[in-house]
Structure 1
């Protein structure tokens, strides 16, 4: 299994890349297959992968998914995305699979004009339920998840007001939406989209692992920052939810592995060239 990780963190310290690496390594070991894994620093070095990979995972990252419009690294990123789209639309039997996480999801939604990408009134940070749409109930990557299922959310931006006309034109489907908050008069964000048979994205972090997140939250400097920014109640709530097996643990063990199984089943139909 040949996988490229597109690192969108721009050199900022994060847990996302560790989680993606470990999830891929665990998956390859469980499937008893060799793994070729390469990483590409998109925002810091302007590097993007070529067409030699089976699977591409584009990570989350900090900052605005709007202010980078017109930058050189973004131009390269969307050129890469178009090259994969063209490959999959062509006569090539062996398709290439893409998973977009958080910042990458927002960038692509903005580029394809699939919704309004805007700053949230306040940051989303914590473990929250998301709700499946009717299309989400039929989505293979959600197999094994409850409705709602729980996710790690950490973002200042959001995709709202999905453009139904453009979604329909490209055959895309909204799979999940933000938790319902009857007391808050704001539109619920779009949390997951199936862009094509070969590309899925989420506005949350399905790679987040409970044990790693627990260790991360207990680092004194991290604990102090979270308590200062979000309050002690939020911090204690996150630690408690990390201990529940049907929350983050289930999402981590289900969603991205389902995507990888889907991609692997397709790749196994063909021999490497």
Structure 2
């Protein structure tokens, strides 16, 4: 690492509330790989938002806000959430000023749902059954020129793991706020239920997915091979679904491609003003 290069500081907002997960390892894996590939002086710091009410200041170059367990509604008014949204408001105000050092934020799953509640973009409710698997995500027309998705096919595959969802997009609200709905969950022609929103660009600097672009085959496979998780998936979704997931993990054009594409593309945007990536 060349320490003569400008330091790039990334804040990881951990919303897992102390629950064991693969997400945080996935983020670290992506950042370490990105740092090595581009020879960057890049550091990151983790903030335990829900369990310890820790939030960073606005002095980081980019922010990644994780998924997490539980309801995205029940935390309304909690101390940690007040601090979290105060940070988001500060970052938003910073970006609306005439400063050139814009602050980019990537929101994942639980964070996506919190932000949709903040902006009142749709209906948030609990799914009839949890969504868990390596599933296709489809682009909307609005994703045609989206740089974060550059290099992905339509549909692309990713890890979807959630009991809650954001549905019934308020398109007028999207238009009024200048936001773009970029992706929807898999098509279900035989199910008469609305499809969940899966990716949104809130602002030029704020990007969010309701799926997990940080997930990688190694982490998901190690989790699925645990007897307790294997039994849980088979009981909930059936043995055929379990086998399909293991097969999809070995396909380099599915979640491995997504993990190598989406967050690195976001980082390209986020740090361009700090260190031009080549």
TM-score of the pair, normalised by structure 1: 0.96
Specify which of 74, 81, 98 is matched with residue 91 of structure 1.
98
- 1:148-173 CA distances to partner (integer Å, 9 max, x unpaired)? 11111000111111122221222110
Determine whether 1:122 maps to 2:129. Answer: yes
Determine whether 1:48 maps to 2:55. Answer: yes
> CA offset at residue 124 of structure 1?
0.5
- Distance in 2, Cα, partners of 1:84 & 1:184: 40
Determine whether 1:11 maps to 2:18. Answer: yes
> CA offset at residue 138 of structure 1?
1.2
* Greater alpha carbon shift after TM alignment, 199-208 vs 127-136: 127-136
- Distance in 1, Cα, partners of 2:100 & 2:131: 41
- Distance in 1, Cα, partners of 2:208 & 2:274: 20
Determine whether 1:78 maps to 2:85. Answer: yes
- 1:156-197 CA distances to partner (integer Å, 9 max, x unpaired)? 111111122221222110000111111000011110000111
Determine whether 1:35 maps to 2:42. Answer: yes
Q: For residue 162 of structure 2, what is the aligned residue in structure 1?
A: 155
Deviation beyond 4 Å, 4+ runs, structure 1: none
Instruction: Please give the residue correspondences for 1:128-139 in structure 2 after superposition, counting only pairs within 5 Å.
Output: 128-139=135-146
* Greater alpha carbon shift after TM alignment, 221-230 vs 234-243: 221-230
Q: For residue 114 of structure 2, what is the aligned residue in structure 1?
A: 107
Q: For residue 274 of structure 2, what is the aligned residue in structure 1?
A: 267
TM-score of the pair, normalised by structure 2: 0.94
Q: RMSD in angstroms over aligned alpha carbons?
A: 1.1
Structure 2: runs of 5 or more not aligned: 1-7
- Distance in 2, Cα, partners of 1:179 & 1:222: 23
> CA offset at residue 263 of structure 1?
1.2
- Distance in 1, Cα, partners of 2:18 & 2:238: 27
Q: For residue 4 of structure 2, what is the aligned residue in structure 1?
A: none
Q: Secondary structure at the match of 2:247?
A: helix
> CA offset at residue 110 of structure 1?
0.6
Q: Secondary structure at the match of 1:91?
A: coil
- Distance in 1, Cα, partners of 2:72 & 2:39: 37
Q: For residue 212 of structure 1, what is the aligned residue in structure 2?
A: 219
Q: For residue 190 of structure 2, what is the aligned residue in structure 1?
A: 183
